[in-house]
Amino acid sequence: MTGSKLQSVRGMHDILPQDTPLWQAVESILRRGLDNYGYRQIRLPIVEKTELFKRSIGEVTDIVEKEMYTFTDRNGESLTLRPEGTAGCVRACIEHGLLRGANLRLWYQGPMFRHERPQKGRYRQFHQLGVETYGPKGPDIDAELILLARQWWRELGIADKLELQINSLGTLGERQAYRQELVAYFSTFEHALDEDSKRRLHSNPLRILDSKNPDMQSLIEGAPKLIDYLGESSRAHFRGFTDLLDAAGIVYSVNPRLVRGLDYYCLTVFEWVTGELGAQGTVCAGGRYDSLVEQLGGTPTPAAGFALGMERLVSLLAHSSLAQPAPPHGYMIRVGAAAEKAGLVLAERLRERLPGLRLVVHAGGGSFKSQFKKADKSGAPYALIMGEEEASRQQVSVKPLRKEGIQQMLDFDRLIEFLQSEFNFQ
Ligand code: ATP
Ligand code: MG
């Protein structure tokens, strides 16, 4: 049984060390934006009771119908690896009484699981950063969610790659009236519907609008538009939203076919879309979901949020300068048993004095020559050399690797002074 190579589960990927610097740089920019706008992090379990997703996302959705990783726990309970974060976030807020008199701005981040057909930008384990707000019911919070995202795109240098599409789904009642019109329309073309759409015609006809099948597109183009079926209050909410976007100089287009793949949305929905990632062009998507809290057993609380697909965002940034990891300030070379010990101790004293110092200590032995090669490859501007002589004199030699300059032997205090003046540590 030994020797055969194991591979990761299809559609579930490792994020390798050459890619983590970009992920970390992106995550830190996203986090700074969230801090600045007053959003606080919540950390949620990856597994929830299956019922939670059925009751929130909706029985007749792609996710619940065919994408969930559901299993029976040893005690016979049906559990599911979370396919998205909103349901768990609402569950947690109700459970811990966070919604009383709520005016909450929350975010979370982590892996999500959906059994989809893997392709570029579509995986079975993927990562989302989710943002949720509870309490405010006006369009100003919808607009804030857009502004937060735009601020991220600017910071990340991709504002010109993302377009905002918006729509309004109105209220449940308005959607029901519209639904009848939609069923009537698609019924007259039933022969032209694909299998999925035929199935949805009576169970969840709005979802037909969301179809990715190119053969369905012209039929969908001709369908009645939900936005024409909205009542005055929904229209006013949408007008309020677009007024704020206009005032803030946000460019958007109204996409009447934007219905989102989950049942809990109402009123404002939006997607940030790019043309650079092929068919999987939606990077960030969300909207308002005013009835979900009540639906899951909480006091009625207006809510709005979005989820950002991290893999898609990161692949938009693949060639950006953010991808460069910061090289170490120094790479320590040690040759000889006494030098190895002295170097290790010296490195710790340096780290203690200069908490910002990035210092890599060579491990695994080798000649001066081979260690210098590693030092060079590390990108560090300086090699700190600990040989027999340095060890016996309790000093260290410093040699510039990226510019001309002499090698000098320094004692601890002079080394600290040298590093301080080179790198300006706080
Ligand atoms: P799509 O229409 O692409 O299937 P969705 O409507 O199912 O997306 P949401 O549930 O709204 O997507 O998730 C929000 C974001 O999470 C998406 O816009 C996308 O960026 C990302 N996302 C969703 N599913 C996947 C997946 N399987 N792999 C990678 N990213 C995903
Ligand atoms: Mg999907």
SS (H, E, C) the chain: CCCCCCCCCCCCCCCCCCCHHHHHHHHHHHHHHHHHCCCEECCCCCEEEHHHHHHHHCCCCHHHHHHCEEEECCCCCEEEECCCCHHHHHHHHHHCCCCCCCCEEEEEEEEEECCCCCECCECCEEEEEEEEEECCCCHHHHHHHHHHHHHHHHHHCCHHHCEEEEEECCCHHHHHHHHHHHHHHHHCCHHHCCHHHHHHHHHCHHHHHHCCCHHHHHHHHCCCCHHHHCCHHHHHHHHHHHHHHHHCCCCEEECCCCCCCCCCCEEEEEEEECCCCCCCCEEEEEEECCCHHHHCCCCCCCEEEEEEEHHHHHHHCCCCHHHCCCCCCEEEEECCHHHHHHHHHHHHHHHHHCCCCCEEECCCCCCHHHHHHHHHHHCCCEEEEECHHHHHHCCEEEEECCCCCCCEEECHHHHHHHHHHHHCCC
Residue with the nearest Cα to atom 22 of ligand 1?
309
Looking from the CA of residue 128, the nearest atom of ligand 1 is: 16
Q: What is the pLDDT of residue 186?
A: 94
The protein residue whose alpha carbon is closest to atom 7 in ligand 1 is 261
* Distance from residue 340's CA to the centre of ligand 2 (Å): 55
pLDDT tens for 210-228 read: 888 899 999 999 999 998 9
Determine which residue's CA is closest to atom 15 belonging to ligand 1: 309
Pick the atom of ligand 1 nearest to 210's CA: 2
Q: Which ligand is nearest to the CA of 280?
A: 1
Q: How far is CA 76 from the centre of its chain?
A: 33
Closest CA to 84 of 132, 130, 30, 131: 130
Dist. CA 189–CA 222, nearest whole Å: 11
- Name residues contacting ligand 1 (CB within 6 A): 84, 114, 116, 121-123, 126, 128, 261, 280, 282-283, 285, 307, 309, 311-312
Taking the centre of ligand 1 as the mean of its atom positions, its distance from the CA of residue 113, in whole angstroms, is 11
pLDDT at 59: 84
Predicted local confidence at residue 105, as pLDDT: 98
Q: First and final CA of the chain: distance in angstroms? A: 55
Q: Ligand 1 pocket check: which of 10, 108, 126 to mutate, most ligand atoms within 8 Å of Cβ?
A: 126
Please identify, by atom number, the ligand 1 atom nearest to the C-alpha of residue 271: 18
Reported as a single tens digit per residue, the pLDDT across 261-286 is: 777 889 999 999 999 998 889 999 99
Mean pLDDT over residues 53-64, rounded? 89
Measure 199 CA to ligand 2 centroid, in angstroms: 17
Ligand 1 atom with least separation from CA of 283: 20
Mean of the per-residue pLDDT values of the chain: 94
Using only the alpha carbons of the chain, give its radius of gyration: 28
pLDDT at 347 over 60: yes
Residue 77 CA to residue 82 CA, distance in Å, equals 15
Provide the pLDDT for residue 53: 96
For residue 212, give the ligand 1 atom closest to its CA. 2
* Ligand 1 atom 19: residue of nearest CA: 309
How much is the pLDDT for 62? 84
The pLDDT value recorded for residue 307 is 98
Taking only the tens place, the pLDDT of each residue in 123-169 is: 999 999 999 999 999 999 999 999 999 999 999 999 999 999 999 99
Kindly state the percentage of the chain with pLDDT values over 70: 100
Instruction: Provide CB contacts within 8 A for 20, sequence distance 6+.
Output: none
Q: What is the mean pLDDT of residues 371-385?
A: 97
Which tokens sit at 136?
Answer: 């405010």
- Tell me which of 1 and 175 has the higher pLDDT: 175
Nearest protein CA to atom 11 of ligand 1, as residue: 285
| Amino acid, res. 342 | A
Q: What's the full length of the chain, in residues?
A: 426
Residue to mutate (ligand 1; options 128, 152, 274; most atoms within 8 A of CB)? 128
pLDDT score for 58: 87
Examine the pLDDT at 1 and tell me if it is beyond 70. no
Cβ(277)–Cβ(309) under 8 Å?
no
Q: How many CB atoms lie within 10 A of CB 409?
A: 15
All residues at 6 or more sequence positions from 50 whose CB lies less than 8 Å from its CB, including other chains: 68, 70, 78, 79, 80
pLDDT of residue 160: 96
Site to substitute for ligand 1 among 163, 280, 308, most atoms within 8 A of C-beta: 280
Amino acid occupying residue 10:
R
**Those residues with Cβ within 8 angstroms of residue 53's Cβ, 6 or more apart along the chain or in another chain:** 63, 64, 68, 80, 82, 83, 87
| Across 62-75, average pLDDT | 94
| Distance (Å) from CA 269 to ligand 2 centroid | 15
Q: How far apart are CA 181 and CA 178, in angstroms?
A: 5
Q: Is the pLDDT of residue 260 over 80?
A: yes
In angstroms, the CA 365 to CA 117 distance is: 47
Q: Is 56 left (phi over 0), alpha (psi -120 to 50) or beta?
A: alpha
Distance of CA 231 from the midpoint of ligand 1 (Å): 30
Query: How many angstroms separate the alpha carbon of residue 90 from the centre of ligand 2?
Result: 20
Task: Output the pLDDT for position 111.
Answer: 98
**Which pLDDT score is estimated for 319?**
86
Nearest ligand 1 atom, CA 121: 29
Distance in Å, CA 261 to ligand 2 centroid: 7
User: What's the CA-to-centroid distance between 62 and ligand 2, angstroms?
Assistant: 7
Distance 279 CA to ligand 1 centre (A): 12
- Distance, in Å, from the CA atom of 147 to the CA atom of 185, rounded to the nearest integer, reads 37
Residue 426 has pLDDT above 80, yes or no: no
Give the ligand at the shortest distance from the Cα of 149.
1
pTM comes to 0.91
68: nearest Cα among 89, 51, 91 = 51
179-215 tens-digit pLDDT? 999 999 999 998 999 998 998 898 889 989 988 889 9
At position 181, the amino acid (one-letter code) is E
Return the closest-CA partner of residue 358 out of 317, 406, 326, 316: 326
